[in-house]
């Protein structure tokens, strides 16, 4: 990735709804050059898609939490099965597979604390492979929406 690719990525992260013509004008390049660069970034898998940033509260998901989960036995089959299962749970936004003391961290979003409690007791604790979990309620979230590549140096 060169400076122009980085600038394209930065601009699209800030506003993916802008037209190719607007993007090219902002970057000071020809629209054809801009279009070809965006297509190349997409072909290379740098740009994987365009997404709407949705307010979770508007979807009745006022309460968010991080749930650290330990599972046993630790095997690829058990890890993959658990990952697939939680990936289908509507409460789970993201599942991270970890190394260290915890095997997973789940980012969940639910309507209220009662729903969070029910999720933990009725869905997680009932799973045979789950041997323990800890929950941290999220009060606020700061999310970087514009990322720049790190240089090799």
What predicted TM-score, i.e. pTM, was given to this entire model? 0.83
Beta sheet of 92-97, edge-to-edge order = 92-97, 104-110, 63-71, 130-138
Each residue's pLDDT tens digit, 68-114: 999 999 999 999 999 999 999 999 999 999 999 999 999 999 999 99
- Give the model's pLDDT for residue 143: 85
CATH fold of 3-43 reads Arc Repressor Mutant, subunit A (1.10.10)
**pLDDT mean over 19-23:** 97
Helices (H) and strands (E) in the chain, counts: 5, 4
As given in the structure block, the two tokens for residue 71 are 């599972």
The Cα angle at residue 124 between residues 123 and 125, in degrees rounded to 5? 105
Output the CATH code of domain 56-138.
3.30.70.920
Range(s) for CATH 1.10.10.10 in the chain?
3-43
Pseudo-torsion of CA 94, 99, 102, 108, nearest 10°?
Answer: -10
| pLDDT mean over 135-149 | 88
């Amino acid at each position: 990735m060169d400076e122009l690719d980085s600038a394209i990525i930065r601009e699209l992260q800030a506003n993916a709804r802008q037209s190719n013509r607007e993007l090219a004008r902002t970057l000071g390049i020809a629209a054809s050059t801009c279009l070809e660069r965006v297509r190349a970034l997409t072909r290379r898998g740098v740009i994987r898609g365009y997404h709407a940033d949705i307010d979770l509260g508007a979807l009745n998901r006022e309460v968010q939490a991080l749930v650290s989960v330990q599972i046993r036995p630790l095997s690829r089959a058990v890890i993959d099965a658990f990952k697939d299962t939680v990936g289908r749970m509507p409460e789970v936004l993201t599942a991270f597979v970890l190394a260290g003391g915890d095997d997973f961290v789940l980012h969940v979003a639910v309507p209220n604390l009662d729903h969070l409690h029910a999720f933990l007791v009725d869905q997680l604790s009932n799973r045979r492979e789950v041997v323990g979990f800890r929950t941290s309620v999220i009060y606020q979230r700061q999310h970087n929406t514009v990322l720049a590549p790190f240089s090799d140096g």
